[in-house]
Amino acid sequence: GFADDTAATPAGGPYPAVISEDLIDMYNTGFAKTNDLPQLTPEILSGQEAILYLGTSSFRPGPEAGVRAVSIRLIGVRDRVPLVGVSLPRGLVERWNADLAGEATPEYVQLTVVAGRAQDVEDVAAGIEGMGYEVTSGREIAQRVRTLTRVLQVAFGLIGLVVLAVA
């Protein structure tokens, strides 16, 4: 599966990556719509390549000396991946963490668990919460994203009306 499949990837990439459906929805309903840009679909994005910079962050840039550029290829769009960023095979991320940060066992901030049967979801969620972890369903996250997108659209609309009124 995707989570562990690094053997089929050439050493220099491009490495397989997936992104969130909600990220595309946010782009389409918020950014693209308000900036008169084309809508994106999973089909348009599939196979697209990009450069991923390891060892730095948009939020907390690192020293340029430790930054490594790798090529990634979008192989899919999923509803159960983190909203921000791309998801990559676990083995690959673990290897990069060991190479760049010296972390043999990385600390994960999010994990997706899929119950084998729909009727087991509540028991699985209760078990995870019993271990001290927070459980959030994809529906809750999607609803938060949609609400935020609507609030931003209204805010930008009001700003536009103020600009027109002042002009």
Contact 95, 6 (CB under 8 A): yes
Nearest 10 degrees: Cα torsion 107, 112, 116, 122: 100
The rounded distance, in Å, linking the Cα atoms of 84 and 146 is 15
Mean pLDDT calculated for residue range 83-97: 83
Listed as own residue / partner, the contacts of 160-163 with beta carbons closer than 8 Å and 24 or more positions apart are none
Contact 70, 86 (CB under 8 A): no
| Mean pLDDT of the residues in the chain | 79
Mean pLDDT calculated for residue range 119-143: 78
Q: Are strands 68-78 and 15-20 parallel, antiparallel or unpaired?
A: parallel
Task: Could you list the beta-strand ranges (E) of 8-67.
Answer: 15-20, 49-54
What is the dihedral sign for C-alpha 134, 96, 87, 68? positive
Amino acid present at 81? V
> Can you give the pLDDT at residue 73?
95
Task: Could you list the beta-strand ranges (E) of 58-158.
Answer: 68-78
For 139-153, write each residue's pLDDT tens digit. Answer: 566 567 778 878 888
Residues 77-113, buried b or exposed e (16+ Cβ, 10 A)?
A: beeebebeebbbbbebbbebbeeeeeeeeeeeeeeee
pLDDT over 90 at 16, yes or no: yes
Amino acid present at 55? G
Contact 88, 32 (CB under 8 A): no
